[in-house]
């Protein structure tokens, strides 16, 4: 056992199920979260549909015509987490519509900076948990992983896991089978990847926290106009036609 008691993890479930208890994705999220809790990480789960989070790319959508927006409160949980895990089912080969809303709202905060002038997401790590009964785990993880990385999250090796059953209608993750077993629970590939993802998230989060995040030389947005920070006189120098074309 390793002590990661100074870390906080947030799991956001983007299932389309209205009730958290009905979510198959939550079962696989639990498998990852259990490993973290056993190693001292403070874990919190959020079922996004239990909140009113409208689509949009602004921090507070009540300022843009919506009567209610719970995102500002949820944002405080996101901001406090060292480890952020998105859970989503696959529908028509893609992440859920709820997941897309989450990514949009995360993007709405991309203008915020930390004390070093970096993206507010710097120094945090992200991963993805996917369930479904059609192929597409890696495709969905590619989309969510890029989004998190672009925002400023650090993505450790093998930062995704998932379970999919046979193509076509069939059991979802955790469904009880005729022999009393639970679909997917005995899948070595899923359990192995879930374990590796979880440990890599914890290890990398601990490393970044111990290092105080990233050095800000070269990635301080506030210093963009200060040429010395970037090692040349004018930050926009060298961006003419010749540089752009190689």
What is the tens place of the pLDDT at every residue in 15-24? 999 999 999 9
pLDDT of residue 1: 56
Cα dihedral angle (30, 35, 40, 44), rounded to 10 degrees? -20
User: Three-class SS of residue 8?
Assistant: strand
Specify the DSSP element, H or E, that contains 146: helix 137-151
* Domain map (residue ranges) of the chain: 8-215
Strand pairing category for 160-164 and 125-132? parallel
pLDDT of residue 181: 82
Average pLDDT score over residue span 20-37: 95
pLDDT of residue 60: 98
Q: What digits encode the pLDDT tens for the residues 114-150?
A: 999 999 999 999 999 999 877 788 999 999 999 999 9
Tell me how far apart the alpha carbons of residues 163 and 189 are, in angstroms, rounded to a whole number: 9
pTM: 0.87
Q: Which residues contact 129 (CB under 8 A, 6 or more apart)?
A: 11, 25, 28, 29, 32, 85, 86, 87, 88, 160, 161, 162, 194, 197
Q: Write down the architecture of domain 8-215 according to CATH.
A: 3-Layer(aba) Sandwich (3.40)
Q: What digits encode the pLDDT tens for the residues 63-113?
A: 999 999 999 999 999 999 999 999 999 988 899 999 999 999 999 999 999
Using alpha carbons, select from 204, 84, 92 the residue that is nearest to residue 145: 84
């Amino acid at each position: 056992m390793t002590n990661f008691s100074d870390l906080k993890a947030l799991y956001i479930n983007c299932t389309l199920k209205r009730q958290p208890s009905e979510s198959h994705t939550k079962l696989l999220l639990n498998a990852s979260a259990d490993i973290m809790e056993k190693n001292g990480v403070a874990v919190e789960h959020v079922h996004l549909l239990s909140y009113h989070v409208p689509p949009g790319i602004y921090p507070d959508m009540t300022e843009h015509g919506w009567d209610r927006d719970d995102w500002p409160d949820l944002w405080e949980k996101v901001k406090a987490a060292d480890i952020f895990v998105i859970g989503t089912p696959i529908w028509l080969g893609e992440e859920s519509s709820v997941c897309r809303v989450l990514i949009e709202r995360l993007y709405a905060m991309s203008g915020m900076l930390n004390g070093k002038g970096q993206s507010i997401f710097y120094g945090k790590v992200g991963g993805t948990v996917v369930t479904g009964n059609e192929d597409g785990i890696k495709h969905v993880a590619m989309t969510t992983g890029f989004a998190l990385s672009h925002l400023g999250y650090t993505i450790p090796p093998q930062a995704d896991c998932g379970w999919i059953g046979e193509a076509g209608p069939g059991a979802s993750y955790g469904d009880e089978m005729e022999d009393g077993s639970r679909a997917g629970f005995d899948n070595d590939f899923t359990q192995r990847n879930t374990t590796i993802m979880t440990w890599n998230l914890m290890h990398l989060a601990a490393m970044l926290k111990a290092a105080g995040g990233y050095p800000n030389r070269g990635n301080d947005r506030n210093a963009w106009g200060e040429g010395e920070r970037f090692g040349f006189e004018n930050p926009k120098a060298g961006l003419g036609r010749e540089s752009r074309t190689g």
